[in-house]
Amino acid sequence: MQRSLRRYFGFSRRETSGFVILLVLLVMWLFLPAVVRPKLTEYNPAADQAQLNAWATELAAQRQARPTFASRYPRRSYSARPHVPQVALAPFNPNQLTATDWEARGLPYYVAQRIVRFREVLGGFKAKEQIRRTYGLPDSVYTRLAPFIQLPDQLPPHEARQYASRYPTAESNKAGFPATGAARPARKPAHLAAFDLNQADTTQLMQIRGIGRGYARRVVEYRQRLGGFLQEDQLGEIYSLRDAPDLVDSLRKYTFVAPSYAPAAVAINTSSFELLQGHPYIGKRLARVIVAFRQQHGPFKQAADLRQIRILDATTLEKLQPYLRFE
């Protein structure tokens, strides 16, 4: 074998002997685990299963039944609403029907109750249009019932005017009833003369179309915090008007800022932190830095000194400068 290996591979005698020994070791290494590994005993799970069953029985015996407590809030039981059989449609007087009669003609329970109360408030229906105004009455149901209602379609002109003056918001009242005593909102003037933005109160601002009490109040509050408007473009800085450019345009159209107007200035060197942080262009963070900076470096002498504050950008400083007073 060694001679054949030497002749085939061209090995020397020593290389051939080493190759044969290596080959024998590899074969022994392959079969060694099977020879050395001990024989494992066969596993019988019966004993372990019996132990687990015993533990389960012991835990079941120790477990106590969970006590039941009566609920502090007993559930209410509601009796089912009786079914109202439907009747064939025929001409009828709506002032003589009960809520059940309206249900029998296809109206939901809550709409039937509402239409009876509506009739009591009005003192009786006099025209179909009054029934049509009942809140929650589907148009499809009214269209189906209208040909059988024994009432005229419209009120007479004089009664219609009385009805409109007595119940001005009857059609828009979501409760389904006329709002007695409700007054019509005052109509805003179509032609409005421009007025001073820094002198106007909420009543004057509300004369502009689209500006209600809430918007007018926010404009006045922002003006007080700011110290007065220097130009109409500052209206767009109000939070509630940022997404309403049409309202800002309306305010610009009917307001102006007097050229000689001088805004209320803030004493930058003597004002407290609470006063500084209330200004829209300063805020809480910048006010804290201003107070700390002047305590360390002394009072500010001019607006250019504020450029030393890193969080104050040039745009904010330019807007803030007219509102500062150096003492």
What confidence tens digit (pLDDT) does each residue in 282-306 have?
999 999 999 999 999 889 989 888 9
What's the confidence (pLDDT) of residue 324? 92
Among 238, 256, 274, which residue terminates a domain?
256
In terms of domains, do 243 and 307 share one? no
- Kindly state whether residue 19 falls inside one of the protein's structural domains: yes
pLDDT < 50 stretches in the chain: 169-183
**Cα–Cα nearest to 264, from 222, 226, 218:** 226
- Kindly state whether residue 40 falls inside one of the protein's structural domains: no
What's the confidence (pLDDT) of residue 110? 86
The number of distinct structural domains making up the chain is 4
d(CA 145, CA 115): 14
pTM to 2 decimal places: 0.45
- Kindly state whether residue 68 falls inside one of the protein's structural domains: no
CA 318 to each of CA 53, 119, 272, 294, 322: distance values in angstroms, whole numbers, following the listed order: 84, 66, 22, 20, 8
Could you tell me the CATH number of the domain that includes residue 219? Answer: 1.10.150
- Kindly state whether residue 25 falls inside one of the protein's structural domains: yes
d(CA 216, CA 201): 8
In terms of domains, do 246 and 277 share one? no
**Cα–Cα nearest to 266, from 216, 217, 298, 306:** 306
d(CA 232, CA 5): 105
- Kindly state whether residue 311 falls inside one of the protein's structural domains: yes
In terms of domains, do 252 and 274 share one? no
CB–CB of 103/112 below 8 Å?
yes
Alpha helices (runs of H) in the chain, residue ranges in sequence order: 2-9, 13-36, 46-62, 99-104, 109-122, 128-132, 139-145, 157-166, 202-205, 213-226, 245-254, 273-277, 283-297, 314-320
What's the confidence (pLDDT) of residue 154? 83
What's the confidence (pLDDT) of residue 180? 44
In terms of domains, do 251 and 277 share one? no
Among 166, 182, 203, which residue terminates a domain?
166
What's the confidence (pLDDT) of residue 82? 81
- Kindly state whether residue 41 falls inside one of the protein's structural domains: no
In terms of domains, do 252 and 270 share one? no
- Kindly state whether residue 173 falls inside one of the protein's structural domains: no
Lookup: tokens for 102: 């309206």
DSSP state of 308: G
Among 118, 150, 166, which residue terminates a domain?
166
- Kindly state whether residue 186 falls inside one of the protein's structural domains: no
Range of the domain at 227: 195-256
